Amino acid sequence: MKNKAITSRDVDFAQWYTDVVEAARLARYSNVKGCVIFEPNGCAIWERIEKELDKKFKETGHKNVKMPMFIPEGLMNKEKELVEGFSPEAAWVTMGGSKPLEEKLCVRPTSETLFSDYFSEVVRSYKDLPLKYNQWCSVVRWEKETRPFLRSREFFWQEGHTVHASEEEAVKETKDMLNVYKNFFEEYLAIPVLTGRKTEKEKFAGAEYTLTIEALMHNGVALQSGTSHYFGQKFSKAYDIKFLNKNNEWEYAYQTSWGVSNRMIGALIMVHGDDNGLVLPPKIAPIKVKIIPIGNDERILSLAKELESKLNANNISSEVDDSDKTPGFKFAEAEVNGIPVRVEIGQRDLENGFVTLVRRDTREKMTIGVNEDIIPVIKGLLEDIQNNLFNKAKERQEAMTYTAHSFDEIIDIINTHPGFVKTDWCGEEACELKLKDARGIKSRCILENEKEIDGVCPVCGKKSKCVIVWGIQY
C-alpha cells in the first residue's frame, strides 16, 4: 500500500476526486460491479456522521427501528407513483434456497412501503401518534454510472419515516427535519446549503412535495444533499393507515420521510479538499490531532504518548504515528487524510523547549512551548479551522451564485463559470425541460420568501410565480 500522486484539482476535477478517494483510503471499487468498499478511513467518517446525526434525531424524539431489506413485489406495487419512480432501477431476488420464489423480492431502494405496511398494523388511535422512526441501512438502486460516495448501486443512508394525526404536525416535521439537516451541514460538515422546495418534476415519487438542501461543490456543480418529503395522505390511502381521531372518526394518517446519505462524504471531499488531499472539519474528523515524533529518542516518544493521552482525556481524539515510516511520509499521510491538526515533535525543537503545530486547512505552522497548556491552544485552533472552512465555503458559494435575466445568460453562466443561477420562474415544466435539453441544467429548488427579480420567466417570458435556483448536478 503506497501513496499515489494526486492530480491537481484545477487540472482535472474528476480525476482529482478519484485520486483523493484512493490516496486518503476512503473507498475503492470492489469486484461487485457498481459497488464500493468503504475502507477504514471512509467508514470512520460515516460513523462520525451517523453518531452526531443520530443524537440529533433522538433529541428531536425519533427512535430507531430495523425493517427487512426486501420488499415483496405486491407490497411494492401498492403506491403507483413510487413503483413507477423506482422500478427502472430495482434489483430483484428471484431465487431463495435454490428454488424460484413464488413472489419476487425487491432489494429495498427506499422503505416507504415497508414502513407504511407496518404503520397500517400498529396505528389504531390518535393516542398511538405520532410515531417518529428512523433507520440506518443501505439501499440498492441499479445505477448505470457509478462514482464512490456520489452514486453507487448500494449506498448507505438513514431514512426517517413518521406518521402523524394532523396535516399541520406532519408539515412541521417535514420542515423541522430539513432544518436538522441544514444545521448539521453547516455546523458539523462546514458546508453552507440552500434550502427550498423541489419542483413537481424533481420531487420524490409519491410525495406531495419535497424540501431539499443543496450544496455547491468547488467546481460549481450542485449536489442535492438531503431531502425531506411531505406525503400527506398519499401512502396512508394506498396502505390503509387509519386512526380513530379525537372525534372518534376514522381518518387517514399524515406521513413524512427524510433522508441523507453517504453523499455527504463526497460533499466533504469536493467542498473542502485541495491538491494535498482531504480536508476534514474538526467536528466530523474521526482523528482530530495526529502526533508525529521525529526520530527514535525515548523522550520524544514518551512526550508524544503523554500528549495523546492528555488530548484524548479532553475529548480531542488523537493518535501518535509511531510507525517506522519516515517523518516526511507521515506528514504527507496526515495531510492526505485531512486530519485537522498535526503536532510535530523533533529533537532540536524539543531542546529549544517547543513543539510545532500545523493546521491542515491553511497549512500554517506555529510553535508552542512544551510547558504551556496545550489543551486550550488546540481547542482554539480546532474551532478556528471549523469556522474558517465554513466561511471559505460560504464565501465561495456566494461568489458562485449568480442572478440571470435571460435564457442565454443562464446558459452562458453555466458554460463559463458554473454555480447556482437564480432566476424568476413561471412554474412550467416546459421551461425546466428546455434548460435541461440545452445544457443538462436542472432546477435545484424554489426559494421561499425571495423577492422577485424581473417578474418574468427568463425562459418563456411569461409572468413569474417564484424565484428558483438552477445548476448542473451530480
Binding site for a second copy (CB under 8 A): 1, 28, 30-33, 35-40, 42-44, 46-47, 63-72, 75, 87-98, 104-105, 107, 114, 117-118, 121-122, 124, 128, 133, 138, 140, 142, 144, 153-154, 156
For residue 444, give the nearest of 182, 176, 222, 204 by alpha carbon: 222
Alpha carbons 464 and 51: distance in angstroms, whole number: 43
How far apart are CB 319 and a second copy at their closest, in Å?
12
Contact between 24 and 336 under an 8 Å Cβ cutoff? The reply is: yes
CA distances from 242 to 57, 113, 274, 343 (A): 25, 15, 53, 60
Residue burial 169-179, b: 16+ Cβ < 10 Å; e: rest: bbbebbeebbe
Which residue's CB is nearer to a second copy, number 158 or number 195? 158
Distance CA 157, CA 58 (A): 16
- Quick one: 71 or 215, whose CB is closer to a second copy? 71
The sign one gets for the Cα dihedral 327, 329, 334, 338 is positive
CB closer to a second copy out of 146 and 219: 146
Smallest distance, a second copy to C-beta of residue 332, A:
17
C-beta separation of 320 from 305 below 8 A: yes
- Considering beta carbons, is residue 125 or 391 the nearer one to a second copy? 125
Give the shortest CB-118-to-a second copy separation in angstroms.
Answer: 6
Rounded distance between C-alpha atoms, residue 414 and residue 316, angstroms: 42
| Least distance from a second copy to the Cβ atom of residue 471, Å | 27
CB of 392: closest distance to a second copy in angstroms?
Answer: 30
Question: Are 317 and 287 contacting, i.e. CB atoms less than 8 angstroms apart?
Answer: yes
- At residue 24, φ and ψ (nearest 5 deg) are -85, 5
Q: Indicate the residue among 317 and 388 with the shorter CB distance to a second copy.
A: 317
The CA distance from 380 to 382, in Å, is 5
If the CB atoms of residues 134 and 386 are measured against a second copy, the closer one turns out to be 134
Q: Which is nearer to a second copy, 278 or 389 (CB)?
A: 278
Distance CA 212, CA 201 (A): 14
Residue 118 phi, psi (nearest 5): -65, -50
- By beta-carbon proximity to a second copy, the closer residue of 161 and 198 is 161
Question: Residue 309 CB, nearest distance to a second copy (Å)?
Answer: 14
* Ramachandran class of 15: left when φ > 0, alpha when ψ lies in -120 to 50, beta otherwise: alpha
CB of 244 to a second copy, least distance (A): 13
CB of 1 to a second copy, least distance (A): 6
C-alpha cell at 87: 422500478
